[in-house]
Amino acid sequence: MKNGSIKNTEFSVSDECTTQERDIISRYWELDNTVFVNKPSIIAKEFNFKTYQIPAIAAKHAIMKLYFDCKSCHNEDVIEVKSQVAYLRNIKKKHNCKSCEEEIKVNERIRRERIQKLRYETELKHKELLTEEINKTLEKGIINESWKLLDNEQFNFLLKICMINNRNKIFSQVFNDDFNRGWQITNSLEKLNLVYIERKRDKSVKDFHFSEELLPILQNNHLNYEPTVENEKRFEWDRLSMRLKKNYSTNEFDPLYSGIATFKEDVVLKAYTKHVYSVWPKENGNIWISITPIEDIVTVTNEPIENEPRHIQEIIKSMFKNPLN
Ligand SMILES: [Zn+2]
């Protein structure tokens, strides 16, 4: 009985069993030091039984008591086992007595509850701090009236995601077609404190947050806004901007750029309206084309046309500097 704390054993067989059962049990519990001499399958063959019947007979009529000194308080206690497996599992271990075991369990429960409480409090504190940070950040966007700095596309994009105000729907309805473009706009909105992006540990998006004051402001400032429509409303855009894919065909009659485009909204370019058109080179020989009503660029940046005619040129120039505007 090396390594274990068992100092004594006591084996007893019930008086109610038959002679054959008694024989089976004595074969089953035959020990050479702490090793069982007979496997149940061997005994079963010998007595013409099924293997599973042997441990069942033993468990029904015999008990092995293992006496030990508790490894914590050193008081004596006993474990009762009824099978070879249970015996082997317990014989070489050091044991705690029942009251020490109970105490350990209670302490463990208290410890776990304390950790849980601490974790909960930390989480709560974290949530509070996060909410504070979100509110502070978004408040800046409102105080600075940052929406006035947006171009038409950014403004409409913000209005859309603010109306949807649901992470999954924003991804499926707004980011779906041009993910990179969506992120470019979102990043500039985040810099202007118009949206707060809550992230998970792996940096993926947990949620989008907007100031409660933002949506009414955007709705009041949106030229074509129709307040009766639902979130799923189809937006009508008055500007066209898209990537044109370079056609690498060597046939001289093929178009320089060709591909298939899908638009997220109806695009309406109004007749007799001045539009700025611009084309920027992009990677892999592709180009980015944008057609925007002059009036929109000017209105969104809050510059009246008639008073400051020179500004129009400047605004348009500054738009040209940023090819993805
Ligand atoms: Zn004890």
Dist. CA 93 → ligand 1 center (Å): 14
Q: Is the pLDDT at 18 greater than 50, yes or no?
A: yes
Q: Is the pLDDT at 178 greater than 50, yes or no?
A: yes
Q: Is the pLDDT at 92 greater than 90, yes or no?
A: no
Dist. CA 95 → ligand 1 center (Å): 8
**In terms of Cα–Cα distance, which of 72, 24, 80, 87 is closest to 52?**
24
Average predicted confidence (pLDDT) for the chain: 84
pTM of the model: 0.45
Dist. CA 112 → ligand 1 center (Å): 22
Q: Is the pLDDT at 197 greater than 90, yes or no?
A: yes
Tell me which of 129 and 294 has the higher pLDDT.
129
Instruction: Please identify, in words, the CATH class of the domain defined by 98-233.
Output: mainly alpha
For range 298-319, the mean pLDDT: 51
pLDDT band at 249 (very low <50, low <70, confident <90, very high): confident
Dist. CA 104 → ligand 1 center (Å): 10
Dist. CA 192 → ligand 1 center (Å): 65
What is the Cα–Cα distance from 14 to 252, expressed in whole angstroms?
A: 103
pLDDT band at 29 (very low <50, low <70, confident <90, very high): very high
What is the Cα–Cα distance from 20 to 57, expressed in whole angstroms?
A: 10
Of the given ranges (42-46, 192-196, 263-267, 287-291), which has the lowest mean pLDDT?
263-267
For range 161-178, the mean pLDDT: 87
What is the Cα–Cα distance from 214 to 221, expressed in whole angstroms?
A: 11
Predicted pLDDT of residue 317: 65
Dist. CA 5 → ligand 1 center (Å): 12
For range 180-199, the mean pLDDT: 93
Predicted pLDDT of residue 28: 97
Give whole-number Cα distances, 127 to 119, 123, 132, in Å. 12, 6, 8
Dist. CA 4 → ligand 1 center (Å): 15
Pairing type for strands 62-69 and 35-36 reads: unpaired
Predicted pLDDT of residue 138: 96
- Which tens digit of pLDDT belongs to each residue from 269-304? 888 888 888 888 888 888 888 887 776 655 444 334
CATH 1.10.10 residue window(s) in the chain: 98-233
Dist. CA 77 → ligand 1 center (Å): 8
Q: Is the pLDDT at 245 greater than 50, yes or no?
A: yes
How buried is residue 280: exposed, middle or buried, by Cβ count under 10 Å (0-12/13-18/19+)?
middle
Dist. CA 35 → ligand 1 center (Å): 28
CA angle centred on 175, ends 174 and 176, rounded to 5°: 95
Q: Is the pLDDT at 1 greater than 70, yes or no?
A: no
- Residues 94 and 74 sit within 8 Å (Cβ to Cβ): no
Predicted pLDDT of residue 36: 96
